[in-house]
Structure 1
Amino acid sequence: MNITSHHGDDQVRIALTGELDMATTEQLRAHLDHTLISRPRLVLVDLDGVTFCDSTGISALVAARTAAAAAGSHLQVVNAHGITAKTMQITGVLEFLTTPPGH
């Protein structure tokens, strides 16, 4: 998986490319932990380039959203599509992960 970050005014967009699974979730967790140190108001995790996401990937995203809230930030998943969006919908976390701040 490839992870790139774009920092803006009190917001970070993290773009993922590749597969988000057991082999790559630790890389994502470490990246998100490092990102949350600066306590951005909003962290957008862009899944447009994600071709596959398994239960460990979903678990990592849910844990990251919880960690972001504890740090006073908001984490929102954007651009989930295909099998990734379907898996999130089936597991019941799609709305939880994609809800924008204040909703």
Structure 2
Amino acid sequence: MPDEFVTSLDSDGRTATVALHGEVDVLTVDQVRTALTDALATHPHQIVVDLSGLVFIDSTGLGALIFGFQRARDAGVRFRLTNPSAPIKQILVLSGLLEVVELS
């Protein structure tokens, strides 16, 4: 099954959600960047990246999350991560990403 990255906008147009599934690595990072850019293009008040379906992320994937965070911050849009599994959360903590990006 191919990795899937879904971008959706909630009914009130305030929250764009990007759901990551499978693995985010050098082979899929461009798709993640595109999904985050597409989410920002909807002009939401916040972007939520749902990590519940994510099973692996490498340094290029972390870089894509930083890319999304920086673009959102520059546009005045709240950016947060949600629902990581314990192993993914550990990677986020060890990388230092959670020192700048909100986890809820």
Above 0.5 in TM-score? yes
Structure 2 unpaired stretches of 5+: none
TM (normalized to structure 2)? 0.87
Greater shift, 47-56 or 3-12, is seen at 3-12
Q: Deviations over 1:6-41 (max 9, x none)?
A: 311211111111001111110010111122122210
Alignment partner of 2:54 out of 50, 54, 61: 50
1:2-17 equivalences in 2 (<5 Å): 2-8=4-10, 9=12, 10-17=14-21
How many residue pairs are counted as aligned between the two chains?
100
Q: How much does 1:70 deviate? A: 1.0
Contact 1:85 1:94 in 2 (8 A): no
Contact 1:44 1:78 in 2 (8 A): yes
Q: How much does 1:96 deviate? A: 2.4
TM (normalized to structure 1)? 0.87
Task: Provide runs of 4+ in structure 1 moved above 3 Å.
Answer: none
Q: Deviations over 1:62-89 (max 9, x none)?
A: 1110101112211111111232111111
Structure 1 unpaired stretches of 5+: none
Percent identity over the alignment is 30
RMSD (Å) for aligned C-alpha atoms: 1.5
Q: Deviations over 1:31-60 (max 9, x none)?
A: 111221222101100000000011111111
